[in-house]
């Protein structure tokens, strides 16, 4: 691919664990709600990911690790044989274009609704604290219910669910898994004081609050190998109501602890907004430089995400602040985003109304750049 010199660093190859990637661009995980109601990936999902396989690595949308993990409708799963078989069709298409594929493992915890789970299941969380957001269900928007507080047995079973999901992901042809520990979902609910009021082995002081995520990552590493496991975090985020009094202390403990596991990479998100919501704290130097803060704590490959343009991404690579940069929303309307960024082509205007839903419109119907138009 011909590349302008101003983004040459972004398009240099990189070795990430056992993976040889042709460039340092990743496609960030994004919920698109195109799976079947039972969580089985669809044929158009394979088309969607294959269209965007010019990245060095694709991180899938969040994938439910169990029926109990489901928070939203039309989100894919990885807990049945049908799920595994359908994902294999996705990974085969992506690998055919020399792109690596990592599956993001998701448990929404309290951010869910029984109507999206079936089988008499109910959302679970470290503590019985409801969130104030509404949840999309088959019958429309409904308030999030009070979750059931998890027992010790529930917690250990959920950690095993992460391990089993990682095994299925590798069986489906994925190159690795990424634990979704960002944005206030279940791992973040354990991690933070506002959502974890426990005083047992899974709550109270920082070490015990971090235990669930660390044990989940360790279980996945033992199941499939540490160089097939990654974690995504959002330091200083207050999205979904998960926060602590001293977030710097939280991540100064967590990041090195994860580093001891020898993981494939750490994925840090610097996003300041989600929709119209401000989702990060505004106090403190660490908040103002999340990538620099994390880089100083993380010994391995660091992937950064959060509103990057081509020049800023290249600068992060050039200076060594990040080893890879993930792009999210720009990949939605620009399936050939790596080519566009490499050559400085304009990007397609965003169409948020089509981001979620069951149709191909706004999903697989975006064209590649045509210089004649």
Asked whether the beta carbons of 66 and 79 are under 8 A apart, the reply is: yes
| Residue 126 covered by a domain | yes
Is 45 within the bounds of a domain? yes
Q: How many domains does the chain have?
A: 1
Integer Cα distance of 297 and 330 in angstroms: 29
Q: At what angle do helices 152-171 and 81-95 cross, to 10 degrees?
A: 40
Which residues are designated catalytic? 185
Among 219-228, 267-276, 308-317, the least confident range = 267-276
> Average pLDDT of the chain?
93
Evaluate whether residue 131 is within a structural domain: yes
| Contact predicate 224/216, CB 8 Å | no
Rg, Å, the chain Cα set: 19
Report yes or no on 359 lying in a domain.
no
Q: Which two tokens stand for residue 43?
A: 């044929």
Flag whether 362 is in a domain. no
Q: Are 281 and 324 in contact (CB under 8 A)?
A: no
Q: Is 365 a member of any domain?
A: no
Q: Give me the pLDDT at residue 276, please.
A: 37
pTM: 0.95
Is residue 239 scored above 90 in pLDDT? Answer: no
Residue pair 138/115 in contact (Cβ under 8 Å)? The answer is yes
Residues 62-115 have pLDDT tens digits of: 999 999 999 999 999 999 999 999 999 999 999 999 999 999 999 999 998 999
Domain assignment present for 366: no
CATH number of the domain encompassing residue 197: 3.20.20.70
What is the DSSP annotation of 9-73?
Answer: GGGS-EEETTEEESSSEEEPP-----S-TTSPPPHHHHHHHHHTTTSSEEEEEEEESSGGG--ST
DSSP at 192 = S
Query: What is the separation of C-alpha 313 from the centre of its chain, rounded to a whole number of angstroms?
Result: 19
326 is a domain residue: yes
The C-alpha atoms of residue 211 and residue 230 are separated, in whole angstroms, by 16
CA distance 8 to 22: 12
* Beta-bridge mates of residue 106: 64
pLDDT of 359 reads 86
Task: Tell me which DSSP letter residue 282 carries.
Answer: -
Enumerate the H helices of the chain as residue ranges: 43-51, 81-95, 152-171, 186-191, 206-224, 247-259, 285-288, 290-295, 310-319, 329-333, 337-343
pLDDT in tens, 272-329: 544 434 455 455 555 679 999 999 999 999 999 998 999 999 999 999 999 999 999 9
pLDDT digits (tens, 9 = 90+) for 109-163: 999 899 999 788 999 999 999 998 888 888 889 998 999 999 999 999 999 999 9
Q: Which domain holds residue 318?
A: 5-354
- For 1-58, how does the pLDDT look when each residue is reduced to its tens digit (9 = 90+)? 566 678 999 999 999 999 999 999 999 999 999 999 999 999 999 999 999 999 999 9
Q: Are 225 and 170 in contact (CB under 8 A)?
A: no
């Amino acid at each position: 691919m011909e590349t302008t010199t101003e983004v040459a660093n972004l398009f240099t190859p990189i070795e990430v664990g056992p993976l040889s990637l042709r460039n340092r661009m990743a496609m960030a995980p994004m919920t698109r709600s195109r799976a079947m109601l039972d969580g089985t990936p669809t044929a158009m999902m394979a088309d969607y990911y294959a269209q965007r396989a010019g990245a060095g690595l694709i991180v899938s949308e969040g994938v439910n690790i169990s029926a109990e993990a489901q928070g939203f409708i039309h989100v894919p799963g990885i807990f049945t044989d049908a799920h595994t078989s359908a994902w294999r069709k996705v990974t085969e298409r992506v690998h055919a274009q020399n792109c690596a594929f990592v599956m993001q493992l998701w448990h929404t915890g309290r951010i869910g609704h029984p109507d999206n789970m079936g089988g008499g299941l109910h959302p679970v969380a470290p503590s019985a604290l409801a969130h104030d957001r509404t949840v999309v269900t088959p019958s429309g928007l409904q308030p999030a219910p009070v979750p059931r507080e998890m027992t010790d047995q529930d917690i250990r079973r959920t950690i095993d669910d992460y391990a089993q999901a990682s095994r299925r992901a590798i069986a489906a042809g994925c190159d690795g898994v990424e634990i979704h520990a960002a944005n206030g979902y279940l791992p973040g609910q354990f991690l933070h004081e506002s959502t974890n009021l426990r005083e047992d082995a899974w709550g109270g002081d920082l070490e015990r609050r971090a235990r669930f995520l660390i044990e989940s990552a360790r279980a996945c590493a033992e199941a499939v190998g540490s160089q097939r496991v990654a974690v995504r975090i959002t330091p200083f985020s207050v999205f979904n109501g998960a926060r602590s009094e001293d977030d710097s202390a939280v991540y100064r403990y967590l990041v090195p602890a994860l580093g001891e596991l020898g993981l494939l990479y750490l994925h840090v998100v610097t996003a300041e907004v989600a929709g119209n919501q401000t989702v990060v704290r505004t106090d403190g130097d660490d908040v103002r430089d999340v990538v620099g803060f994390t880089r100083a704590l993380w010994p391995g490959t660091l992937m950064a995400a959060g509103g990057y343009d081509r020049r800023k991404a290249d600068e992060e690579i050039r200076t060594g602040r990040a080893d890879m940069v993930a792009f999210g929303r720009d990949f939605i309307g620009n399936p050939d985003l790596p080519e566009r960024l490499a050559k400085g082509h304009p990007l397609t205007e965003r169409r948020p109304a089509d981001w979620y839903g069951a149709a191909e419109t706004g999903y697989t119907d975006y064209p590649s750049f045509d210089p004649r138009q």
